Amino acid sequence: MLKVNHLKTYFLILLLLTNGMIFYTVSAEKTNNLLKVSFLDIGQGDAIFIESPIGNQFLIDAGPGKSILNALGRVMPIYDKTIDAVLATHPDADHIGGIPEILRNYTVSKYIYNGAMGTTGVFRELEDEVHRLNIKTDIVRTGDVIDLGGGVYLKILYPDINPKGTDTNKYSIVAKLYYGNSTFLFTGDAPTDVENYLVRNIGKELDSDVLKVAHHGSKNSLSNQFFSAVSPDYSIISAGKDNRYGHPHKEIVESLNNITSNILGTYDLGDIYFISDGQTLIRN
Amino acid sequence: MKNDFNLFLSIAGFVSAIFLCSFMKIGITFSLFLIFLSLILFLYVKLITTDEESRKIIFLIIITMISFSAGIIRYEIKDSASFDLNLENNIDQKVVISGIISDEIRNNERQAILVVDFANITLASTSMAVFGRGIVSTDLYPEYKYGDLIKISGKLEKPENFSNIGEGTTITSDPSQIKSQFGGASFDYISYLAKDDIFYKIDFAKTELISEGHGNFVKSFLFKIKDSFINNLNKIISEPESSLLSGILLGAKSSIDKNTTEIFRKAGLSHIIALSGYNITIVSDAIMKVFAFLPRNGGFILGIFGIIFFVLMTGASSTAVRAGVMALIVILAKSTRRNYQAGRALIIAGLMMVIVNPKILVFDISFQLSFLATIAIIYVAPVLKSRFTYITDKFGLRDIISSTISAQILVLPLILNKMGLLSLVALPANIFVLTLIPMTMFFGFITGVFSFIWFPLSLPLAWVSWILLAYIIIVSEFFASLPFSSVNIPWFSSSIMIACYFVITFWIIKENAKIKSN
């Protein structure tokens, strides 16, 4: 008799849990026509998670290591183990270090990169995994447009040539995200030369609401012209707390200060979330 | 009873010798001197004295001295590992060494940590065989596995101790997990590594695979199962919950991130992610409780299977085997209800372990935790249980809570000493968390098993595990975030710790005598 009662209790608990799970799923799936862009705090590196209004998930960079998995745990519901596409701006470990782990633990439909060949162990591992899992790859160039669904587009602004040589930053992908009136500019590790080149060629098009400051706020990506051309409302610096490179550099913060007061660092704030309905953009 | 006393005396002599040797150099000469002295005493007893009383006393002194010198000899043999000159002469030099990965690989967020048995060193383009074991840190990729023969290039160094690593200090130069886990006080890293015969390190090494499959066949197999088990868990459960599960379930050394580790440290819960008898004892205990309704031996047998399985799953490392043996003794004590025999079994088992590797007595916190937790469950839990009559006995709750608290009491001085951090919330945090550990392990385990059978089948189970794991993390975060959740107590020296244990021992003897007389 006692045992039967126990069974009933367990069954009840199980039903309750299932119920909770359903509510959780429903609330997690509610999309509200919102674009969500999250600059994830993964230490010294970049990782930007984008979710379009129809729920497509897109990741720009995932460095430097396994910490990206924790970060994804924070922005994705627990049952969701798929990502629509991962874009690697360039093959440095602080940008691609976590991608092999993502490919292993999530179902990724597409891998997008600039065609550059890295020489590091992690790059080879990434290539092997892409191969082994038969993931579709795309090499992108200036002018390519990626449709994220729900009216969200990612336009590639750079590179316009095939990467060569050992300077990986030089060919780092620069891309701009559009959703109605809201725009984001992602710069990877683009150096000053590239920034100036972009100002000369497509100056007007650079103007964005949110700028991911290039190269974690390093001195090598300091172009005042570029900052004025972008004239961001928010500047995001993705860097680790007390990192050994001294990022972000004082000069960068100072010149950004002349343009916008909203300089946000993942090293201070942790994850930084934005949402937009296409009209207004707010930091969440 | 008299035989018991003699046995106890010789064990005490042996163990105290090893204890002292761990801190100071005594040397074999001294033990030879003791043996010589005992010989003289022996002759004196045999030939000269006739007084029965003094004969008895001298006999006891002889036993103590002989066992004491045996302890010294055992320790000296372990400590006298011969150093290879080809390695010793190249300390602080850039070297190229090949060697076999001889233990499970640990990854932290940035690097892979390998234990390598060196085989060859290349000096001035000639290759020479070398003997020695080192800890090597290298890039996360390419990934190696146990038994791989690899080529290592880097600077050969001797490990160094570190001291007073406070909160928020970044540790980059020496990437060992133990540092982040026991990072509060100064830490004798040299001895910690030496207990496993590791005397060298190569940091930030460049490595390259030469060939695979040089490891022990059984171990390779066990690690392989463990790896795919963990991989499957990672696929179904998101981070950081899945790393926590691997830590709790398999003592997986990798992957729990620094933040989470720090949270557990503050909440006084570090032990749940360290492989020790602490976990496994609680689990085997719970298995028996849950299956107590089975006919007499059912729970007992399931408990034993649980332990053997756990040890195999963790790769049957010596740490896991020791933890398993301790847990078996607990099961024995519980099922026979004969504390006297279980206590003896525990002392003999502990002695055996110390004979096999005398350095664990002082330098292996996992051994110490296991031993103390076992004592707690055999001797302290019954005392507390008899007082916790207001806690419901349903679901074996009273048992679980009294086991938890008694283990807490016994490991507290050790943890205070090793970590230099008193978690003021440890007791409530442990009660809230540890009571759910067996259930978490159970669900985590069947999630993993079902994921091998059919993936979708494991999903509902994964959610249950996730809820439990998320609960553990939330509770830890809550307790860690309270103001004054922990205070630094760098003054908690080893002598204070030992004094604490004297008081506790005295209390245990008193309370158990009371129980016996009832």
Helix, strand or coil for residue A147? strand
- Establish if B231 belongs to a structural domain: no
CA distance A228 to chain B (A): 36
Pick B308 or A103 by higher pLDDT.
A103
- B234 domain residue, yes or no: no
Q: Does B153 touch chain A (CB under 8 A)?
A: no
Q: What mean pLDDT value characterizes chain B?
A: 81
Which pLDDT belongs to residue B518? Answer: 67
CB under 8 Å, gap of 24 or more: what pairs does B1-9 form?
B6/B60, B6/B63, B9/B60, B9/B63, B9/B64, B9/B67
Same domain, B32 and B94: no
Residues B322 and B286 in one domain: yes
Residue A57 parent element (H or E): strand A57-60
Assess whether B358 and B441 both reside in one domain.
yes
pLDDT tens column, A106-123: 999 999 999 888 888 899
pLDDT tens digits for range B35-49? 999 898 888 888 887
Alpha-carbon distance of B454 to B452, in angstroms, equals: 6
Distance CA A157, CA A194 (A): 11
Q: Which chain B residues contact residue A70 at CB under 8 A?
A: 239-240, 257
Mean pLDDT confidence for B462-467: 89
Residue that is last in its domain, among B79, B112, B141: B79
**Within a domain: B189:** no
**Is residue B345 over pLDDT 60?**
yes
Range of the domain at B153: 85-159+198-219
CB B78 within 8 A of CB B358: yes
Number of domains composing chain B? 3
Higher pLDDT, B165 or A31: A31
Check residue B178 and give its pLDDT: 43
The CATH number of whichever domain residue B106 belongs to comes to 2.40.50.140
Same domain, B140 and B252: no
pLDDT given at position B311:
83
Residues 6+ apart with CB under 8 A from A214: A172, A187, A188, A189, A190, A191, A195, A221
Q: Is the pLDDT of residue B179 over 50?
A: no
Instruction: Indicate the pTM of the whole model.
Output: 0.79
pLDDT in tens, B275-285: 666 667 666 76
Interface touch B464/A97, C-beta < 8 Å: no
Evaluate whether residue B421 is within a structural domain.
Answer: yes
User: Comparing C-alpha atoms, which of A126, A123, A89, A92 is closest to residue A108?
Assistant: A126
Alpha carbon distance B128, B151 (integer Å): 14
DSSP 8-state secondary structure symbol assigned to residue B49? -
Residue in chain A closest to B139 (alpha carbons) equals A121
Report yes or no on B150 lying in a domain.
yes
- Whether the pLDDT of residue B516 is over 80: the answer is no
Q: How confident is the model at residue B167 (pLDDT cuts 50, 70, 90)?
A: very low
Query: Same structural domain for residues B16 and B133?
Result: no
DSSP H or E segment with residue B463? helix B455-481
Which of B79, B100, B125 lies at the terminal end of a domain, its last residue?
A: B79
Q: Let me know whether B203 and B138 are in one domain.
A: yes
Interface contact flag, A79 B110, Cβ < 8 Å:
no
Chain A residue numbers with beta carbons less than 8 Å from the beta carbon of B234 are 69, 104-105
Between the two ends of chain A, the Cα-to-Cα distance in Å is 54
Domain identity same for B513 and B410 = yes
Give how far B230 is from chain A: nearest CA, Å. Answer: 11
Mean pLDDT of B315-319: 77
Cα–Cα distance, A101 to B152 (Å, whole number): 24
- Closest chain B residue to A69, measured at CA: B239
Q: Which of B79, B113, B141 is the last residue in one of the domains? A: B79
Same structural domain for residues B126 and B245? no
pLDDT at B171: 32
Give residues 387 to 426 of B whose Cβ lies within 8 Å of A: none
Residue B188 lies in a domain: no
Cα(B289)–Cα(B368) distance, integer angstroms: 25
Pick among A4, A104, A105, A243 to test the B interface (most B CBs inside 10 A): A105
pLDDT of A118: 83
Average pLDDT (B219-242) is 88
Residue predicted with more confidence, B210 or B28: B210
Say which of A43, A78, A104 has its CB closest to residue B466: A78
H-helix segments, B156-276: 177-181, 189-194, 217-236, 241-250, 258-266
- CA B51 to chain CA mean position, Å: 48
Residue B193 belongs to a domain:
no
Query: Which is higher by pLDDT, B407 or A89?
Result: A89
Tell me: do B414 and B266 sit in the same domain: yes
Please list the ranges in chain A whose pLDDT falls under 70: 1-5, 30-31, 261
CB A88 within 8 Å of CB A117:
no
Indicate whether B377 and B336 sit together in one domain: yes
Question: In chain A, what residues touch B237 (CB-CB under 8 Å)?
Answer: 78
Phi and psi at residue A263, to the nearest 5°: -100, 115
Mean pLDDT over B313-328 rounds to 80
pLDDT at B82 over 90: no
Q: CB-CB: which of B107, B142, B238 is closest to A76?
A: B238
Residues of A in contact with B235 (CB under 8 A): 81, 104-105
Residue B174 counted as domain residue? no
Residues B402 and B314 in one domain: yes
- Using one digit for the tens of pLDDT, what is the confidence trace for B447-464? 888 888 887 888 888 888
Contact between B143 and B231 (Cβ < 8 Å) = no
Q: What is the mean pLDDT of residues B64-72?
A: 91
pLDDT recorded at residue B3: 67
Mutate to test the interface with B, among A49, A57, A69, A92 (most CBs of B within 10 A): A69
- The count of CB pairs under 8 A between chains A and B is 66
Residues of A with CB under 8 A from a CB of B: 3, 17-18, 21, 43, 64-67, 69-70, 72-73, 76, 78-79, 81, 97, 100, 104-105, 120-122, 124-125, 242, 244
Check B141 against A125: CB less than 8 A apart.
yes
Distance from CA of B391 to the nearest CA of A (A): 19
Helix (H) or strand (E) holding B283: helix B277-290
Cα within 13 Å of Cα(B106), Cβ side? 19
Tell me how close the Cα of A180 comes to any Cα of chain B, in angstroms. Answer: 33
Do B64 and B96 lie in a common domain?
no
